[in-house]
Structure 1
Amino acid sequence: MALSRTGRRMLATLRDTTFRSLRHRNYRRYFAGQIVSFVGTWMQSAALMWLMYDRTGDPRWPSWLLVAQVGPTLAFGAWGGALADRYPKRTLVLFTQTAFLVNAVVLTVLVGTGVATPYLVLALIGFNGVIQAVDFPARLAFVPDLVPKEDLINAVGLNSLVFNSARAIGPAIAGFLFVAAGKVAPHLPEGASGVTIGATTCFALNALSFLAVLRALRRIPEPRRHEKPAASPLAGVLYLREHPALGAVVLFTFALSAFGWPVITVLPAYTRLQLGLKEEAYSLLLSSLGAGALGAALATATFGSVSRRGAFLITGAAACAAGMAGLGFAQVIGLACGCCAAVGFGMILFLSTAQSTLQLAVPDEVRGRVMAVWAMTLSGSAPIGHLLAGHAITVAGVGPVLFGMAAGIGAVFLLLAGMALARRNSPEPVS
């Protein structure tokens, strides 16, 4: 009886704290649809990385894929944000998610039939990136339409929870499918490749996953719109320039992302060259990265508040730097997984806190364009971070690249800690 009472109390606490945004019906529908869709997205992403590395043997290909995916947001993100402020966000997201589905179907057919060359796959992913340039700012700006302001930090945390649960689950499913395909391939006609079969299966399941989010979006009524003036794409940049504290958050986000996210493109080469292992280990490392990120998303959803923003930003940068340095030293899979979890935890603790800071501070009329700047910041880090990391591995090796990335993140931590210390020691204004 005591255990049952304790269990009910814990469930009530989770309902009223960690998952309190789910009491809002429209957000609950959106949340459920995103769970399925993001699992499919991460499954496809992991499969693409391994497929291209397996076919080419070149550690730069994973970085080129990521640049093709996120680079268009840097080029067209301001335009996408202007659309989000000008037109109904739900309609925009419905359109972009449908386009993602079609692209996934085409990728499935071309890879499955053996038609797709590496450069054709790169072109398809580049088209996906153009869709994302509209989808990303529209989805970010759509969340405040689904929950009241007092639940916005929690909703942002839950969005990170969904995204990073998928980051852990999707690659794990992809790894299982690759292993299963490898066992089936020898029994198929000569020339059948286990990697191709596994990747094609992942792409097909990703296409199906978009049906869940499309169904959820169709059940959410369009929020009442007010007539809006023509949206200048540069309004987000101008707003951040007028509010330097928010602008600093965006700059730190750029730096942390440039040095932190390239770990994803490093992992295929790291798995083979430093650990001497195969795709099962690669999938495990990606899942560990996602598990750490999942822990950070839970922490943000449960404990995130305005008063803790500074501490969360500093802790996130510190955890990410320590995990990255640890990866440079690690020679065994267990330690490497722990370091990946630390990197994932630090990145998401920082990014979810920074995103909720912007969402709370920005007025509705420019939210789409400011969040487009946020999306462009994350995307702009890719051409710099991923391409440099992929090229540097061919020159210096995996370990030195990881140490360099750790040093860059450590610099962000020192700047944040120094600013917090200076603010604490600054004299109180005399009235």
Structure 2
Amino acid sequence: MLEILKHRDFARLFAAQVVALIGTGLLTVALGLLAYDLAGPAAGAVLGTAYAVKMVAYVGLSPITGALVARLPRRAVLIGMDVVRMGVALCLPFVETVGQVYGLIFLLQAASATFTPTFQATIPDILEDEGAYTRALSLSRVAYDLENLLSPMLAGLLLLVMSYHGLFVGTAFGFLGSALLVWQARIPQRGSDVPRPFRERVTRGIWIYLNTPRLRGLLAFNMGAAAVGAFVLVNTVVMVRETYGLGESALAVAMAAFGAGSMAAALILPGVLERLRDRRVMACAAVLLTVLTLAHGLWMAMQGPLAWGVFLGVWAVTGALYSAVLTPSGRLLRRSAHAEDRPAVFTAQFALSHLCWLVTYPLAGYGATYGSLWGALVLMGAIAAASTALALWLWRGERVVEHVHPDLPEDHPHILEHGGRRHRHAVVIDDEHRVWPTQG
């Protein structure tokens, strides 16, 4: 997998992703300490609101900002958003009110909602070979998991020699390093030559996404993975501290088990996807993830908590299956749009997938708080089951359907390319294919 780093431009962009993730990890720790300074025992409510602001920015702003920057040079957009994020990080040590925190977090996440889809849409244009792109997706998944494991440890070491305000400076340096690495990479500009109204640029990605069967299935798979992932992220601390009566180090071990499983799956997925179709891999992983989650919840209801070692094993397998559902997403997005539409489709995936998290986070948290842990597990498993069934119904295969274009003139380039109005080819939703053909 590491051979992909021999590609100079991808290696620089991957390094930019890594240093930005490290900065984001430091920000997460520093933000928690800042919230406690400002709000004391109400820090949890402050953080909860801040994360809600983050999700609202992701869901509501990403299509709009994506449309605003669609015709701008990608490298300028990426560097500009890193500079904005760096500026916000440098402002955070000087805030005096909770309202200022919310405002700065909204600005930072608005920049991230522009940066991330643009960055993700750039990689398939740099790595045109699907095998290389698959390895890049797996490497990106590993980077996210390593950040979750290593950033808290790095923050802890830094806090031995500085106040938490220094972590914000470290965050700024992370975004600065990302900007410098992006500046050194050669990034192709693949904007559309067709002038489109602003409203169409805002909605085009979601229009393509929701009219493509495999992407509708992907959204349902995202919902199932988000349901289980939300339980892990929200309630692992409750299980470790309340159910097992263990300390903070045990929480780190539990999250490390989940992350290790996710990384292991990401490392083996490129080889698996060379032999099996994406749908089969994602469907099998989603079914197994659903069964494991429901079984865990029902066992807790009838027999009590699992033994600690068994729980860690379950969390590792959960992480592996979660990764297997989500990692192939980029391959589906790449396959479902022309190069000029990829930024819009990646933006749609960014917004819609975070909408899933916006729904599942409170369900997981309130379900465990006002019900029970086993009840929340069963609820999340039930959502995963319904989502998996819906995904399999929406995405029933990759058939190439014969179809006809009665509305196009005989001399239209698409008609001439395929030798007549009635023809067969792999379909992508675009100006010539406004809906997915079914019966021809």
Same fold by TM-score, threshold 0.5 exceeded? Answer: yes
* Aligned-partner Cα distance in 2 for 1:280–1:243: 45
Q: Which residue of 2 aligns with 1:142?
A: 122
2:235 to 266, 270, 291: 266
Flag the structure with larger Rg.
Answer: 2
Report deviation, 1:313: 0.4
Report deviation, 1:202: 4.1
Of the structure 1 ranges 22-31 and 97-106, higher mean CA displacement relative to structure 2 is found in 97-106
* Aligned-partner Cα distance in 2 for 1:101–1:415: 41
Mapping for residues 389-408 of structure 1, pairs under 5 Å: 389-408=364-383
Contact 2:216 2:391 in 1 (8 A): no
Contact 1:155 1:301 in 2 (8 A): no
Change beyond 3 A, Cα 1:351–1:225: closer
* Secondary structure of residue in 2 paired with 1:362: coil
Q: Which residue of 1 aligns with 2:57?
A: 72
Amino acid aligned to 1:390: G
Amino acid aligned to 1:149: D
Instruction: Return 5+ residue gaps in structure 1 as ranges.
Output: 1-17, 185-196, 425-431
Amino acid aligned to 2:77: L
Report deviation, 1:75: 0.7
Matching of residue 362 in structure 1 with residue 315 in structure 2? no
Matching of residue 208 in structure 1 with residue 173 in structure 2? yes
Matching of residue 41 in structure 1 with residue 41 in structure 2? no
* Secondary structure of residue in 2 paired with 1:305: helix
Contact 2:220 2:391 in 1 (8 A): no
* Aligned-partner Cα distance in 1 for 2:33–2:370: 21
Report deviation, 1:96: 1.2
* Secondary structure of residue in 1 paired with 2:277: helix
Mapping for residues 27-426 of structure 1, pairs under 5 Å: 27-45=10-28, 48=31, 55-56=40-41, 63-83=48-68, 85-110=70-95, 115=96, 117=98, 120-150=100-130, 151-174=132-155, 176-177=156-157, 199-224=164-189, 228=193, 229-230=195-196, 232-305=201-274, 307-321=276-290, 324-325=293-294, 328=297, 329=300, 330=305, 333-414=308-389
Contact 1:80 1:137 in 2 (8 A): no
Q: Which has the higher contact order (CA 8 A, sep 6+)?
A: 1
Larger helix fraction of residues:
1
Of the structure 1 ranges 88-97 and 400-409, higher mean CA displacement relative to structure 2 is found in 400-409
Contact 1:73 1:379 in 2 (8 A): yes
Matching of residue 23 in structure 1 with residue 6 in structure 2? yes
Amino acid aligned to 2:5: L
TM-score by length of 1: 0.77
Report deviation, 1:146: 2.0
* Aligned-partner Cα distance in 2 for 1:107–1:223: 34
Report deviation, 1:159: 1.8
* Aligned-partner Cα distance in 1 for 2:167–2:318: 26
* Aligned-partner Cα distance in 2 for 1:282–1:108: 28
Of the structure 1 ranges 238-247 and 68-77, higher mean CA displacement relative to structure 2 is found in 238-247
Amino acid aligned to 1:250: L
* Aligned-partner Cα distance in 2 for 1:247–1:393: 30
1:156-200 Cα offsets, whole Å, 9 max, x none, are: 2222222222222223434x449x75xx9xxxxxxxxxxxx7754
* Secondary structure of residue in 2 paired with 1:304: helix
Change beyond 3 A, Cα 1:368–1:225: closer
Contact 2:121 2:346 in 1 (8 A): yes
Report deviation, 1:397: 3.4
Contact 1:107 1:124 in 2 (8 A): yes
Q: Which residue of 2 aligns with 1:187?
A: none
Of the structure 1 ranges 163-172 and 320-329, higher mean CA displacement relative to structure 2 is found in 320-329
Of the structure 1 ranges 100-109 and 348-357, higher mean CA displacement relative to structure 2 is found in 100-109
Number of residue equivalences: 385
Amino acid aligned to 1:39: I
Question: Among the aligned pairs, what percent are the same residue?
Answer: 22
* Secondary structure of residue in 1 paired with 2:276: helix
Report deviation, 1:369: 1.1
* Secondary structure of residue in 1 paired with 2:127: coil
Report the aligned-residue RMSD. Answer: 3.3
1:25-84 Cα offsets, whole Å, 9 max, x none, are: 100111122222213323433564587589436866654333222221211121233245
Change beyond 3 A, Cα 1:214–1:108: same
Amino acid aligned to 2:376: V
Of the structure 1 ranges 373-382 and 219-228, higher mean CA displacement relative to structure 2 is found in 219-228
Contact 2:218 2:391 in 1 (8 A): no
Q: Which residue of 1 aligns with 2:414?
A: none
Report deviation, 1:411: 3.3
Report deviation, 1:360: 2.6
Amino acid aligned to 2:173: L
Contact 2:289 2:318 in 1 (8 A): yes
